[in-house]
Amino acid sequence: WQRPADEVSVLMELFLTVLSLEIKRLNRNNVKLNIIGDTSRFSEKLQTKIAKAQLLTQDNSGLILNIAANYGGRWDITQACQAIALKVESGELSAAQITEDTVNQHICTTQLPELDLLIRSGGDSRISNFLLWQLAYTELYFTDTLWPDFDQDEFLKAIASFSKVERRFGFTSEQVIASK
């Protein structure tokens, strides 16, 4: 956390407040809450609130709301590698058995489908250490529109742009056509 301590404190209190206010509504609306990231640096109070919120909504089958909190793509890949290394160390897995699927099983978003589209608002043309592993074949859409102003019209522009893209997943156009 490289931001000033007072800013971090305000953000953590805001997170706690919003979580406390919204969790019942999420549960009533059948939304499963999933917090991804390293929550170990959060206060004990916030960690407890997160655990209770996730427990309350764990069986909900409607939408899944993923909140990336203290999350970084490099951290995610590192913690996945550490977990895999422990399995190799214990003899549960050999180095030769490590595949992309093995890594996929150890990243924070393992239970989620592949990403189709990442929308980056605010004029930045970078992904800023976000979902590095998961973005391999994701289409990226950058807009100058700031998040508070990102409305339905802006969303439709992103979807329109996405709809024009040929998704090849590393194949050539000819291979994609032949596989249909």
- pTM for the model: 0.82
Token pair belonging to 141:
């859409």
Give the tens place of pLDDT for each residue, 61-100. Answer: 999 899 999 999 999 999 999 999 999 999 999 999 999 9
pLDDT in tens, 108-163: 999 888 899 999 999 999 999 999 999 999 999 999 999 889 999 999 999 999 99
Burial 147-160 (b: 16+ CB within 10 A, else e): eeeeeeebeeebee
CB 38, CB 18: distance < 8 Å: no
Q: Is 131 exposed, middle or buried (0-12, 13-18, 19+ CB in 10 A)?
A: buried
- Residue range 13-69, pLDDT digits in tens: 999 999 999 999 999 999 999 999 999 999 999 999 999 999 999 999 999 899 999
pLDDT at residue number 68: 92
